[in-house]
Chains A and B, each alone.
Chain A
């Protein structure tokens, strides 16, 4: 598996999330939790959408992404900093934390 870099930043244009520098697709075809977009640092529909999108891109499996997104949101996405960067390895480590709890 090639390692990717996911990054999030809050700007005047909104909260933007990229994967290897390109906008991260919002995964709304799998499930739409919100129409507002991605957010992080708290528990809610926007962080849930981000958790789903990150896991869909990382795992490539819509069913698994949907199943894991709630705990991944609470353990990883709700704890992200204002501006953040995660590698594929860090997402994998986050998923291991979710499984351990």
Chain B
């Protein structure tokens, strides 16, 4: 059950969601834009050589490290010029969802689960820039495959993050990778871990690589860990913890 503090935050956050907001339309728009980018890029791939396909694992690993970096260094650190992202994530998403109450209640809560659609457009613009460079130094096919991988990874990110915050896990608990990231990300919502650990949202590769995972096991163990808690490291106890009603109103 949500603590009084989380309950107060949720009530305040929900009160400022626009009445016209529709969670399903929000998700549909993201998948429409991402799906269109994927479809458009696929149309431009013609008889790729096997060397062109090498861009796919490279781009997937790059996206994984980028997702880790963005989460650890922008979403969880106040940086000038990026405060909107910090506020939306550390000051809102993590106050709304805690390890004790990580689940959304209705599709209106999608407002705080999914990124705004313009984040995807920004990501696609960055991918297009990288694709342009790839077309100059590698090949046009490799460039379009890069756009496909980037769009696919983004949609993967959004789907897996939703898998972490949906209450019903009757299917997800048996889905490889999705079950792993669900335990991994819910643990990240523990207030003693949130600023330092479990920064991946798709596959915990970069967390394993950079030693920021809460698990003590190898790469394959990380990727296929599922709900297993046997390898969880003992976490430090944070100082001054309170679980009290909010001292100040969460929103104006």
Query: Which residues of A approach B to under 8 Å, CB–CB?
Result: 7-16, 18, 21, 35-37, 39, 41-42, 44, 46, 76, 79-86, 90, 94
A10 to B8, CA, bound (A): 13
Do the beta carbons of B90 and A11 come within 8 Å of each other? no
* A93: min CB distance to chain B, Å: 10
Q: For A15, list chain B residues within 8 Å (CB).
A: 91
Instruction: From A10, A42, A84, A85, give the contact of B196 (CB < 8 A).
Output: A42
26 contacts between A and B (CB under 8 A): A8-B240, A9-B247, A11-B9, A11-B95, A11-B249, A11-B251, A12-B12, A13-B251, A13-B252, A14-B91, A16-B248, A35-B80, A36-B80, A36-B83, A41-B238, A46-B78, A79-B239, A80-B240, A81-B192, A81-B239, A82-B94, A82-B191, A82-B238, A84-B241, A85-B244, A86-B239
Instruction: From A16, A46, A85, give the contact of B240 (CB < 8 A).
Output: A85
Task: Say if the beta carbon of B242 comes within 8 Å of chain A.
Answer: yes
Task: Say if the beta carbon of B87 comes within 8 Å of chain A.
Answer: yes
| Known contacts A18-B247, A39-B78; A12 and B13 CB within 8 A of each other | yes
9 residue pairs, one from A and one from B, having the closest CB atoms: A84-B240, A81-B238, A82-B191, A81-B241, A41-B195, A12-B251, A85-B242, A79-B239, A36-B78
Task: Say if the beta carbon of B173 comes within 8 Å of chain A.
Answer: no
Do the beta carbons of A13 and B248 come within 8 Å of each other? yes
Total B residues in contact with A, Cβ cutoff 8 Å:
36
A81 to B194, CA, bound (A): 10
| B residues 224-240 touching A (CB-CB < 8 Å) | 236, 238-240
Task: Say if the beta carbon of B38 comes within 8 Å of chain A.
Answer: no
- How many residue pairs between the two chains, A and B, have CB atoms under 8 Å in the bound complex? 93
Do the beta carbons of B95 and A10 come within 8 Å of each other? yes
A86 to B242, CA, bound (A): 10
Do the beta carbons of B195 and A42 come within 8 Å of each other? yes
Q: For B196, list chain A residues within 8 Å (CB).
A: 42
Query: Which residues of B approach A to under 8 Å, CB–CB?
Result: 5, 9, 12-13, 16, 76-78, 80, 83, 87, 90-92, 94-95, 191-192, 194-196, 236, 238-244, 246-252
Do the beta carbons of B242 and A84 come within 8 Å of each other? yes
Q: For B91, list chain A residues within 8 Å (CB).
A: 10-12, 14-15
Do the beta carbons of A12 and B242 come within 8 Å of each other? no
| Known contacts A12-B92, A36-B78; A79 and B194 CB within 8 A of each other | no
Q: For A35, list chain B residues within 8 Å (CB).
A: 80
A42 to B75, CA, bound (A): 13
A14, closest chain B residue (CB): B91
Most interface-central of A7, A8, A9 (chain B CB within 10 A)? A9
A80 to B203, CA, bound (A): 29
A42, closest chain B residue (CB): B195
* A57: min CB distance to chain B, Å: 15
Do the beta carbons of A80 and B239 come within 8 Å of each other? yes
Known: A9-B246, A12-B16. 5 other contacts (CB 8 A): A10-B95, A14-B91, A35-B80, A42-B76, A84-B239
